[in-house]
Amino acid sequence: MPELPEVTTIVNELKEEIVGKTIDDLEVRLPKMAQGAIGGVQGQKVTSVERRAKLIVIRLSTDNLAIHPKMTGQLFYLPPGKNETIAGEKDGKYTHVVFNFSDGSRLLFNDLRQFGYVKVLSNEQLNKILSEHYGIEPVDPAFTVEKLNGIIKSHPSMRMKALLTDQTIIAGIGNIYVDEALWEAKTHPLTKAGLLTDQEIAALHTGITIVLTDALKYLGTSMDMYRRTTGEKGEYEQHRRVYRRDGQPCPRCKTTIKRITVGGRGTHFCPKEQVQKH
């Protein structure tokens, strides 16, 4: 599932391409993927594109569009007169929603597994979702060491992997970047939050910052379905430390990286440097 770096990359690219454009038509080919008064967005202008957690928010003249890629969703932008992206992505059998803009450009919403969605929301509905469903953003200046310390100490019985992937607590990071940040901080994914010292929490804050900074720099991770709006891949895969590197040597100590399952998620760590506290 696209996480904060991937969604941020998509949002930044969409800002360059669709802000100021008018939606001529919203073509829905798979009804379950579009919710709300879809027909009402026709003729509305895109005023901004934003990210909240793993959600893409397109603000319009009157309404808002909330797009969640879920597991396999992709957004591909086709400039006016073009039938494919620069990477060769086209309108195809997995294209379920098409945004047709008045200048002839198009935005394709593809989804192999069909878990993603587009929702039309009023300002009130959107603000309620954004404020009530998600926790603090780890790239927000308010996400200080002290803030993280307070969050962790408020959930002492939670395992660290579960705490950091809970979107209602900290929004935007998931399986990939939690594994990476825990490795940076030398924290075991199953350690209970209440056992971390202030120093270890500070190291985790630094780890989260390092990992997200790198992932944003390299435009996300394209090991699975994530692609940029151009169809191109993100490059963080080449820089990851432990995620899906089980069986390979730890970049720091050369111990073999181990994989376990935590909450149904494949989880990767160094068994020598990330020792579980009890």
Could you give the residue numbers annotated as active site?
2-3, 54, 265
Residues recorded for the chain: 278
Q: Is the dihedral of CA 35, 133, 18, 78 positive or negative?
A: negative
Structure letter (DSSP) for residue 104: S
Show the tokens assigned to 28.
């829905």
One-letter amino acid for residue 263 of the chain: G
Closest CA to 7 of 53, 61, 48: 53
Q: How many CB atoms lie within 10 A of CB 249?
A: 12
Contact between 49 and 128 (Cβ < 8 Å): no
Q: Count the alpha carbons within 13 Å of 107 in the hemisphere toward its beta carbon.
A: 27
100: enclosing H helix or E strand: strand 95-101
Q: What distances in angstroms separate CA 90 from CA 72, 94, 108, 230, one per listed residue?
A: 16, 10, 8, 11
Among 231, 266, 265, smallest CA distance to 95 is for: 231
Q: Given 3-state DSSP classes, what are the helix, strand and coil percentages for the chain, each rounded to the nearest 5?
A: 30, 25, 45
d(CA 144, CA 269) in angstroms, rounded, equals 25
